[in-house]
Structure 1
Amino acid sequence: MSDDHEDLLRVRSVSVALGGRTAVEDASLTVSGGELVGLLGPNGAGKTTLLRAVLGLLPPSAGSVEARGPVGYVPQRHEFAWDFPIDVAGAVLSGRTRTVGPLRRPGRHDRAAADEALERAGLTALRRRPIGELSGGQRQRVLVARALAVEPRLLLLDEPFTGVDVPTQDLLNELFGRLAAEGRGLLMTTHDLAAAGRTCTRVLLLNRSIVAGGGPELLADAGQMLRAFGLDRAGRTGEAE
């Protein structure tokens, strides 16, 4: 894995336009190996948009993105086709598609990487379960395992705790902490301020632009939280992403 403090992600002055509107404006951030960085902000702040720009799914209208090594992505749960006729092992192995290529069969290393990801997400016993039969928490663990199958240095997580039970939250928190301890970098969007305060090594407040950044104690700064989650100067709340 990467050395601690090595920048695995550099976002420099990135702006992204959606439908003629600026969804992200002049945002800059870094994520280093060993960090679990929380990206927090109100609905419509641009969190998912920024992750998609990092992945190259949305072209920035300004600025640049540099990501080092393989990148794993955990989308929000509703973005995955859970009615697809595939089992848990197949869904996790499908995370290797970009590495393997669409026309090549997975090899021994691909299957070993998927098996390790299943184990780390606590899914080995469910490997032959159709994904359509899974609970919400189990589905979230499938998405995490699918991202881990890429053997990422950098892991992007979009609201991984939304709609999952407490045991799943605890399992994921422990797993994310271990991944950071191994030298991987994690960037996680979340609405859960309490969870971010407990688990993140650093937090960033986003409301189209990065409003503030610092240690988890930043979440107790009423002034900064008001800037990120409160009304803007015109008295409006954030618009939908």
Structure 2
Amino acid sequence: MTDRIAVVTGAASGIGRAVALGLARTGARVVAADLDLDGATAVSREVDGITPLAVDVADPDSVTALAGQVATDIGTTNVLVNCAGWDRTGKFLDSTPDFADKVVGINYLGQVHMCRAFLPGMVEAGEGGKVVNVASDAGRVGSSGETIYAGAKGGVIAMSKSLAREMARHAINVNVVCPGPTDTPLFAAQDERLKEALIRAIPFRRLAKPEEVADAVLFFASDAASYVTGQVLSVSGGLTMAG
């Protein structure tokens, strides 16, 4: 992927970090975009070819500014990977409108904003491209304590399938990776009883490594998936086996 420019959100930690490093190791020039610029900068020091840039995916103006900076300073994006996400477990009846707005703003609208900002450049370049949206198996089968998050991630799945239909005429592939429980800072912050219950429920009896989820993202971002679009791939150790 030495001729590719890839933008990865949520790249300061967890799955986004693993994706950014994985793409850079294939030779792609990678933009590690995150609200945590210090974290993204630390990632950029691990492998050559990574440029850290700040973005708040929930803020359309911030996303527009990122797209402009990438186009001006680096070039046309060929690969867009939307990894940025956030959640906090709790009962739906205890949730607040502000919490719901934050979850939807980051996990769903953040991906909408990124696609809206970067796809015009891909279309205009006429060279095709890859979009990989990271959702969650919570969006496929539901998850107790994550109702609003599951709804947002379900929206990502539906949005991606529709977008895949629209972008096919431009040779732009749009696919979705749905991680199950993964060893990330986001998972570590969850309730201990929930974490233990999830691990017991996984047939492999362990969490996914971020790199294992990144491998699925890298497949969709590569030419190996040139004839694959509108698809959803779960990486969950068998926890979910959705049809």
Which TM-score tier does this pair reach, normalised by the shorter chain? 0.3 to 0.5
Query: TM-score of the superposition, structure 2-length normalised?
Result: 0.33
Higher RCO (Cα < 8 Å, 6 or more apart): 1
* Max Rg structure: 1
Question: Of Structure 1 and Structure 2, which has the larger fraction of its residues in helix?
Answer: 2
Question: Of Structure 1 and Structure 2, which has the larger fraction of its residues in strand?
Answer: 1
